[in-house]
Structure 1
């Protein structure tokens, strides 16, 4: 109910109101901290700061934090272990799917995948979310488009953050500077948070379910490409030669997309990337998640669902 109210309240605003809210909050907090160092107003400023921080934390827990305690999706899937061969077979399957779907998308002048119409992707995600398997979830969206390009896109490019969900405004924020191969699945992931899936890897899984059978070629390719990369990341430390062989089998177009992704990441590496990677890892672990360094839970969900 709260999410729907927030979406109605903020979705019509053409820019990210959540980002603006964060800018105001940061400015107020800095002002309070500076005031704490002044003798005359130190006590009152410190009390105000504590009250404000508690209100923010309490609101976060009410709007979002409690969702981390939902029953995990893994409980709804078959039991049993996943073998290395299971992941290899699925990686080869998705390699062929990616090759086929890559042929259906548009390219820029350098032969790199480019998105056609981002609004059609957003609407497609909302449509596909209402087709999710009933045994996985009965959550439904309200077809309110509340995707917003973040005001912090330049900073986000240097932090490794692709997007984020703002629980105070129910906006799905994304970095509009991302390579097109990242962007559609990032939208699907952040919209999964809007739907009420707090855990990062479960949001990946819901994003995958929304994109795998999509009639939108951009969303379908980006989803399948994310799945393939996730499977290869889960295999590389166990069989590096297999991963190298799969990468060699990428189509020429997929290789161009991969090279562009690598250039983008290389151009935006720096201390901010390491800092935000470290702090995000801590945040995920404090919210009963695996951390940002592993895809294992998503891959487990994926393989068990596909099997």
Structure 2
């Protein structure tokens, strides 16, 4: 019995050492351009295979995988803590090694791609630039808002999500080549999340599953959020790991769209992002812009506020905190700060619009 326990302890140490070695190895890999290029090439191949395979299912395979994985991990942790089976500790470490390795190969290394900002001309962003652009997008929003459908309460409503997805897939292939060398896809791998009821209380609109290449979204979102969320998640499917770069690619996908639902949602996101940037320095200006919203935009804004109010609570705070930590550990800004997106937006608009 003592010999068996010694062997199990030795295995635990071995797999714990492998996990630590992986942490160090992938940290070193993140500093090597050649490795990052390999990761980008591999992503294109695995994405095509995974999307082709998992898009055939009409439910989120990735969410089912997460549920089964969570159940297995909880079971092994409890068995290990309760000391009812020492081998469970070894199994737990093996699974953690496999998951961590798969995550890094499929997705994690993409956080260290060359940033989009290096492809745009240097420009010192000033507050007046943000203000001027916010006024332009205010007028754009007002014009586009007049062309979209409403529900019986006069709030913007997306009635056909599939048309939005078709437009997103089409527009992926029309992105500026100097900004986006990545290949678009014809595969609809957008899935309604199995956790949609919980998501409404977390402040999470959507997420990308690196193990199945599916883009999950919350179908219960206000329609002002939904089309742009789909565009944002499609940017992750293209291979943009950083959140604010996915926002920027989502903006490029939606801003000149022929689909008015996608166009309005994108313009409205841009306007809100600019106002969030400005409000810290000139709250009076932001209030004046909001006062100039069209009646329809004001109804949409009120509905968003009520949605957040109805779904605020402990989960919202917890997931906001954990998401903030995740972003910062992956070389990104925190979840509250959107200055990088606005920087890309203003520099692009100055040069190309």
Shorter-chain TM-score: which interval? Answer: over 0.9
SS of the residue 1:113 aligns to: coil
- 2:214 matched to 1:182? no
- 2:143 matched to 1:100? yes
User: Of residues 21, 28, 39 in structure 1, which corresponds to 2:72?
Assistant: 28
Q: Bigger radius of gyration, 1 or 2?
A: 2
**Deviation of residue 32 (structure 1)?**
0.2
SS of the residue 1:293 aligns to: coil
Alignment of 1:252-271 (within 5 A): 252-271=295-314
- 2:339 matched to 1:296? yes
* Counterpart position of 1:113: 156
- 2:309 matched to 1:275? no
- Provide the rounded CA distance (Å) in 2 between the counterparts of 1:167 and 1:187: 16
Give TM-score, length-normalised by structure 1: 0.99
* Counterpart position of 1:72: 115
Give the unaligned 5+ runs of structure 1.
none
- Provide the rounded CA distance (Å) in 1 between the counterparts of 2:180 and 2:201: 35
Deviation by residue 1:69-89 (Cα, 9 ceiling, x = unmatched) = 100000000102100000000
Deviation by residue 1:229-263 (Cα, 9 ceiling, x = unmatched) = 00000000100000000000000000000000000
**Deviation of residue 140 (structure 1)?**
1.7
User: Of residues 177, 180, 198 in structure 2, which corresponds to 1:155?
Assistant: 198
More RCO (CA 8 Å, sep 6+): 1
- 2:136 matched to 1:87? no
- Provide the rounded CA distance (Å) in 2 between the counterparts of 1:286 and 1:249: 39
- Provide the rounded CA distance (Å) in 2 between the counterparts of 1:156 and 1:54: 28
- 2:65 matched to 1:18? no
Residues matched between the structures, number: 306
SS of the residue 2:141 aligns to: helix
User: Of residues 137, 157, 166 in structure 2, which corresponds to 1:123?
Assistant: 166
Task: Give the conservation status (yes or no) of the 8 Å contact 2:172–2:185.
Answer: no
**Deviation of residue 40 (structure 1)?**
4.3
* Counterpart position of 2:48: 4
User: Of residues 189, 207, 230 in structure 2, which corresponds to 1:146?
Assistant: 189
- Provide the rounded CA distance (Å) in 2 between the counterparts of 1:70 and 1:19: 27
* Counterpart position of 2:210: 167
**Deviation of residue 39 (structure 1)?**
3.2
Deviation by residue 1:165-197 (Cα, 9 ceiling, x = unmatched) = 000000000001000000000000001000000
- Provide the rounded CA distance (Å) in 2 between the counterparts of 1:171 and 1:281: 23
- Provide the rounded CA distance (Å) in 1 between the counterparts of 2:303 and 2:82: 51
